[in-house]
Amino acid sequence: MNSKTKNILVELAFSVLAIIISFMIGAIVILFIKGNPLEVFGTMFSGAFGSLSNFADTLEYATPLMFTGMAVAFAFRAGLFNIGAEGQLYAAAFAVAVVGFMLKLPPFLHITVVILTALIVGGLWAYVPGVLKAKLGVHEVITTIMMNYIALDLTNYLTMRNVFKQPGQIPQTKDILHSAQFGTMTFLSKYTHLNSGIIIAVVVAVIVYFVIARMKLGYEIKVTGYNSNAAAYGGINNKNKLIIAMVISGAIAGLAGAEQVAGVMHHFVSPFPVGIGFMGIAVALLGKNDPFGVIAAALLFGALSAGGTQVDTMTTVPREVIDIIQAIIILFVASEVFLRKLIVQRIKQRKYRKMLEQSNLEQLDV
Amino acid sequence: MSKNILEMRNISKVFGDVVANKHINLSVSYGQIHAIVGENGAGKTTLMNILYGLYAPTTGDLIYKDEILQNMTPALAVKKGIGMVHQHFMLIPPLTVYENIILGAEPTIKKTGVLDKKRALEKIKEMSRKYSLDIDPLALVENLSVGEQQRVEILKVLYRSAELIILDEPTAVLTPQEVDKLFEILKLMRNDGKTIILITHKLKEVLAISGEITVIRRGEVITSLETKELNKTKAPENELANYMVGRPVLLRVKKTEAKPGNDVMRLKNLTVNDNRGIKKVDNVSFNVASGEIVGIAGVDGNGQTELIEAMTGLRPPIEGELSINGKNMTFTTSREFFDAGAAHIPEDRHKHGLILEMQNNDNFILGKQWLSPYQTAGFLNYRAINKMSDELIKNYDIRPDTYKVKARNLSGGNQQKLIVAREMTRQPKFLIASQPTRGVDIGAIEFIHKKIVAARDGGCGVLLVSAELSEILSLSDRILIMFDGKIVKEFVNKGITEKEIGVYMMGSGA
Amino acid sequence: MFSTILVIALATIQSSIPLLFAGFAGLFSERSGVVNIALEGFLLLGAFSGAAIMQAMNGSSQTLYITAGFLGTIVAGALLALLFAVVVITLKADQIVSGVAINIFVGGLTVILSQAFFTARSFNFPEVPVFIKTYFFPILALLIAAVTYFVLYKTRFGLRLRAVGENPLAADTLGVNVVKMRYIAVIISGVLATFGGAYISIFAGSFAKDMSAGRGYIALAALIFGKWKPKGVFFAALIFGFFKAIEQFLQGGVIPTQFIQMIPYLMTIITLAGFIGRATPPAADGIPYEKELSE
């Protein structure tokens, strides 16, 4: 087994450990509120995988997370914290809704326009924090969080304008035309909202992989993220790379908005479902900022979501129990680097102490 | 009572893969200036950090004033009377001098925890007077010069009534005249009954000021002796160098006479400010011809860093003209510098020269990633990149010998060799080598020096910047001395002594 | 006219209180070198704990349930802060990611506990006397501002705290216990923020899911706007409180509500853009302290 495979297995082991521990803590919380952990976890599992329609739910909840996870992961490669996936997807989602009902185009063209709109608007929403960071050094965590709230308020305002609003009580936009909708996979289950967005997600993952691993742009973004001084030395324009990375990140997050509007709801509603952007951070972390890892992590979180819905309806335990589990996973994965170094270092120190005592100095490389 | 204030017995220290100290025995007599000598990376600083409690030894004992000290921490060290002035200053720039000095030993009003500023200032003023360490206690440390900051570090130690004082490479950033002043201060302290441990790799200083010497090489003690014994020998410096390195060291590289051709680099009226807007390079002009090595001598901090940064496109100057191989530079990016046929070995390999988190192959293409065959149409060609990496690893004897290892896992010398390999294979017409052998073991130093001379013999014009005078004297054909942002003197390198250069480095003799 | 000013002033104070508590909480934490994105979570925890304890003790004397509520809030804040501290200081996890996780955690936990003990995602709780809402909290906030200034600049603890946030290695070599200082700073931070959160539910008279409503992030903005200095944070919190307060006064006017709601966020971005170069955080902010030097 070469060292690269060994590394991947170790990473996997830690992720699995994180999941197990968070479930254990979830169990403790469930016990505390007088629930039955086994019943809850069982319901969760069946809610996620128990039937074809449940599995479709898992995939459906996972899809937007694939996008936001990849968005956050991409930004991380440049050393940027994109906490703004939430706002980026709102803005894009609204734009998609408008483009979806205002334009009359043949289906293929309409979908292309939908996708392009999401990419552009999402990218634009991330452009502002990107530029502020690149040109003025303003930390993107704060600016992206601010942009989230601005997106929330702006889309809320726009949704209520008569030109966009669906007549009636509910604050939502007019339904998008059929030609703009992502096809739903009703062959899996009659009531599912799982749509072709998931295929787009996988395609995006492949593209992102190639950009990061094989393209000069990906290399330069990585160098910028690891060491901006070395990047400057190496002829890389750090400022541009930061902006490009943020815009690409925002564009991918925008696709989450497109999927939700064009694939699931077929209109924009205010307030839009909250948390997809934040959860993207957890997914990126668990997926180790690698596009395929993100897909896997998104599937896990999608399963948790689907399971959570079932738990909410079938047991006395509220769905928020999955928030707890997800939070613990994040904390554990975030601590992982240190824990791993600690364990490895302890093993090595013990080995060398023994060698020194035996004065087996030939083996030491000094 | 033993005549030794300090004994370190059988000290070993392991960091992961690296054995920094191996079965070290050290004895320091009372009231002596004891020099611990060794090259960069020999393990001297690690040993002292163990004494001061920053590291725990893997094995071994510390015996201070006949008492075995367990579970050493800096707080305990200070309490026992051990003080340390570190190589990289441990100061807090936004705080004042007195706040930096009293931190951790603050005088408070009774037991309230409220700072007693008056008492603190009084005590500091008294110490300043006693050891002639002039400083304004209310100044912000970030506004002080390097020499002044060092005085703050020394005051920190004295404020805590230290009896054993460790100084780690204190003269690395001082001019020869400032070194003399420091040594006077040390003698005052010694005559006052203090014991001093001086960590250094500067042979002349060791012979001038110390009473005892311990030589460390590759983590082990090679020998301990009294300075006066060493000074009786015919060539004490060479003796010492031998101990340090283990074989006769050529303190000068063998090279033939230079045959300079046309100018490869022309610099006019360069003025550069640092991040705070202070002028660091003041109207500098000079040229470098093909086939010559021009060395810039000067104490760290006189503008050399900013000069090179401006020339290589890392820092825009206030004004200036630069042409490399006849091409005019706009100072906006390092890419035009490389594309003009130049190469750059940066002074700080961790900051500029490498991406520690990436593998060797990715480091080999840093600054080359737009060149074919490594790149076509935006895609990187890793087959070509890896082939090149393998070749360079072999030719430059870089260990471990695989391109798959991350740069952070290489030793300092191998990291530097990677950078040298990368830059030399540009076949540059103009090469900037800035502190090219800093923190590098002697074998790699010789290798790198040979490569630089070979480049020069092949027609390359080399600009060498180094804080090591011996390196400048050994390699340069012409020597420029930089002081306070200006070139104050130029020498042809024939029969020049370090003392002469030192005078100009300090700004006198203009 | 004058009465309008008075009403606005009052509303400003009311809106500023959570921001003041959370802002100073952030100040302690960040001056010691720990970024605290979890202010939002602490505020929410405080809003919940105060309300929950008081509702649980509904029926006993007012003094009793209020004291219990306050004490319980402090304990809850200290405990969560301890968890946060262990994760980011001892386990050296990324501070921003961990902060986000804490926010998610508190969001979920408060709803679960609310559902479990009060059978709904929101609940009411017994009345708190007016003087606490109008006088106690504002005066406490003022006191905290003054004490923070004094502690930070005139005491040994404050000097060590600042040192640890700028150059922990230097402080360590002088025998200052970096880890201990940071733990204390984070716990103070947690207690302050949680206590400020209690005000939110006390003012509303009830607890509702996610009622911290982004105040934690505005407090963070106030911290940055105030350049990590006590005086700055104080005024920043007031200014942002002012904007939140006038929201309701401009309702139904020419400017749509949503745009007024946007103002604090826009202002933060604009000021951050304008201020940069002079607004520098503590040098070691966000970097976990590694004892063994790598070279």
pLDDT digit string, tens, across residues A13-32? 888 888 888 899 989 988 88
B215, B229 contact by CB (below 8 A): no
C-alpha distances out from residue B332 to A232, A240, B320, B355, C179, Å: 10, 14, 13, 22, 43
Q: State the Cα–Cα distance between residues C90 and C111, nearest whole angstrom.
A: 29
**Angle at the Cα of C166 from the Cα atoms of B74 and C197, rounded to 5 degrees:** 115
Q: Which of A245-249, B359-363, C180-184, C266-270 has the lowest mean pLDDT?
A: C266-270
Q: What is the mean pLDDT of residues B468-493?
A: 89
Low-confidence ranges of chain A (pLDDT < 70): 1-4, 352, 355-366
User: B352 CA to chain A: closest CA distance, Å?
Assistant: 4
Give the closest-approach CA distance of B132 to chain C in angstroms: 23
Q: Which residue among A128, A132, A320 sits closest to C112, beta carbon to beta carbon?
A: A320
For C240-273, the pLDDT digits (tens) are: 888 888 776 776 667 777 887 787 788 778 777 7
* ipTM over cut 0.85: no
Cα torsion angle, A64, A66, A71, A72, sign: positive
For chain C positions 146-165, those within 8 Å of chain B (CB to CB) are 154-157, 159-160, 162-163
In this prediction, residue C294 carries a pLDDT of 33
Q: Give the contacts of A344 (CB within 8 A, at least 6 positions apart).
A: none
Average pLDDT, chain B: 87
Query: Using the beta-carbon criterion (under 8 Å), do B74 and C173 form an inter-chain contact?
Result: yes
pLDDT score recorded for residue A365: 40
DSSP string, C74-85: HHHHHHHHHHHH
B207 and B236 in contact (C-beta within 8 Å)? yes
Q: Do A229 and B344 touch (CB under 8 A)?
A: no
Mean pLDDT, chain C, rounded, equals 87
pLDDT tens for each residue of B178-231: 788 889 889 988 998 999 999 987 777 888 899 999 998 878 888 898 888 888
Residue B109, both tokens: 């009003």
Going from N- to C-terminal start, the domains of chain B cover 4-245, 263-505
Tell me what pLDDT residue B41 has. Answer: 64
Second CATH level (architecture) for the domain C13-275: Orthogonal Bundle (1.10)
| All partners of chain C with 3 or more CB pairs under 8 angstroms | A, B
Closest CA–CA distance from residue B44 to any residue of chain A (Å): 15
Exposure letters A33-60 (e unless 16+ CB within 10 A, then b): eebebeebbbbbebbbebeeebbbbbbb
Contacts A147 to C, Cβ<8 Å = 265, 269
Cα three-residue angle B422-B428-B434, rounded to 5 degrees: 65
Buried b (16+ CB within 10 A) or exposed e, B252-282: eeebeebebeebbbbbeebbbbeeeeeebbb
**Residue A278: C-alpha distances to residues B208, C65, C149 (Å):** 64, 36, 35
Predicted pLDDT of residue B506: 63
Measured between beta carbons, the chain A residues lying within 8 angstroms of B369 are: 216, 219-220, 234-235
Estimate to the nearest angstrom the gap between the alpha carbon of A325 and the chain centroid: 16
- CA-nearest residue to C170 within chain B is B90
What is residue B412's predicted lDDT score, i.e. its pLDDT? 81
The encoded tokens of residue B138 equal 């209310």
Distance from CA of A194 to the nearest CA of B (A): 35
CA distance B156 to chain C (A): 9
Band of residue B104 on the pLDDT scale cut at 50, 70, 90: confident
pLDDT band at C274 (very low <50, low <70, confident <90, very high): confident
- Say if the Cβ atoms of C171 and B15 lie within 8 Å: no
pLDDT value at residue A275: 84
Q: How far apart are CA A46 and CA A57, in angstroms?
A: 11
Would you call C258 and A146 a contact, using CB atoms and an 8 Å cutoff? no
What percent of chain B is modeled with pLDDT above 90? 48
Closest CA to B413 of B386, B389, B448: B448
The pair phi, psi for residue A177, each rounded to 5°, is: -70, 160
**Domains B4-245 and B263-505 belong to one CATH topology:** yes
Give the separation between CA B364 and CA B362, rounded to whole angstroms. Answer: 5
- Cα dist. B352→A233, A246, C145 in Å? 6, 24, 43
Q: What is the mean pLDDT of residues B428-453?
A: 88
CB-based contact A253:A85 (threshold 8 Å)? yes
Spatial contact of B265 and B430, defined as CB atoms under 8 Å apart = yes
Please give the CATH superfamily to which domain B4-245 belongs: P-loop containing nucleotide triphosphate hydrolases (3.40.50.300)
Check residue A352 and give its pLDDT: 66
Q: Are A304 and A328 in contact (CB under 8 A)?
A: no
Q: Assess contact for B103 and B97: CB atoms under 8 A.
A: no
Q: What integer is the mean pLDDT of B436-446?
A: 81
Q: Does C167 touch chain B (CB under 8 A)?
A: yes
Quote the tokens at residue A245. Answer: 């990375």
Buried b (16+ CB within 10 A) or exposed e, B171-181: bbbbbbebbee
Sign of the CA dihedral with A43 first, then A47, A48, and A49 last: positive
Contact yes or no for B231/B260 (Cβ under 8 A): no
CATH number of B263-505: 3.40.50.300
Which of B313-322, B408-417, C193-202, C239-248 has the lowest average pLDDT?
C239-248
**What are the structure tokens assigned to A163, written together?**
């030109």
For chain A, domain boundaries: 62-301
Using the beta-carbon criterion (under 8 Å), do C108 and A281 form an inter-chain contact?
A: no
Mean pLDDT of B401-409: 89
- Verify whether the Cβ–Cβ distance A147 to C37 is below 8 Å: no
Chain B residue with Cα closest to C157: B113
Residues of C whose CB is below 8 A from A146: 217, 221, 265-266, 268-269
Pick the residue of B11, B347, B355, B374 with the most A CBs within 10 A to test the interface with A by mutation: B355
C293: confidence class by pLDDT, cuts 50, 70, 90: very low
Which subunits have 3 or more CB–CB pairs within 8 Å of chain A?
B, C
Chain A neighbors of B354, CB-CB under 8 A? 227, 230
Size of interface A-B (CB pairs under 8 A): 96
At C8, list the tokens.
Answer: 């606005």
Averaged over B396-418, what is the pLDDT? Answer: 88
User: To which residue do tokens 């939700």 refer?
Assistant: A260
Residue-level pLDDT at B130: 85
Question: Tell me: the pLDDT tens digits for B272-289?
Answer: 998 767 788 999 999 999
CA-wise closest residue to A95 among A26, A158, A4, A40: A158
Looking at residue B409, its pLDDT comes to: 85
Q: CB–CB of A233 and B352 under 8 A? A: yes
CB atoms within 10 A of CB B62: 22
User: Which residue, among C115, C268, C275, would best test binding to A if mutated, counting the most A CBs under 10 Å from its CB?
Assistant: C115
Q: Which of B164, B202, B136 is nearest to B63 (CA)?
A: B164
Q: Which residues of B touch A234 (CB under 8 A)?
A: 334, 366-367, 369
Highest mean pLDDT among C131-140, C160-169, C170-179: C160-169
B153 CA to centre of own chain: 18
Q: Which chains touch B (3 or more CB pairs under 8 A)?
A: A, C
Helix H or strand E encompassing B268:
strand B263-273
* Exposure class string for A206-220: b at 16+ Cβ within 10 A, else e: eebeebbeebbbbbb
C169 Cβ under 8 Å from any chain B Cβ:
yes
What's the confidence (pLDDT) of residue B458? 92
User: What is the structure's pLDDT at A357?
Assistant: 61
- Residues B71-93: what's their mean pLDDT? 86
Least confident stretch, B95-104, B463-472, C102-111, C283-292: C283-292
* Cβ-nearest to A234 among B23, B367, B380: B367
CA A144 to chain B, closest CA, distance in angstroms equals: 27
Rounded average pLDDT over C87-102: 90
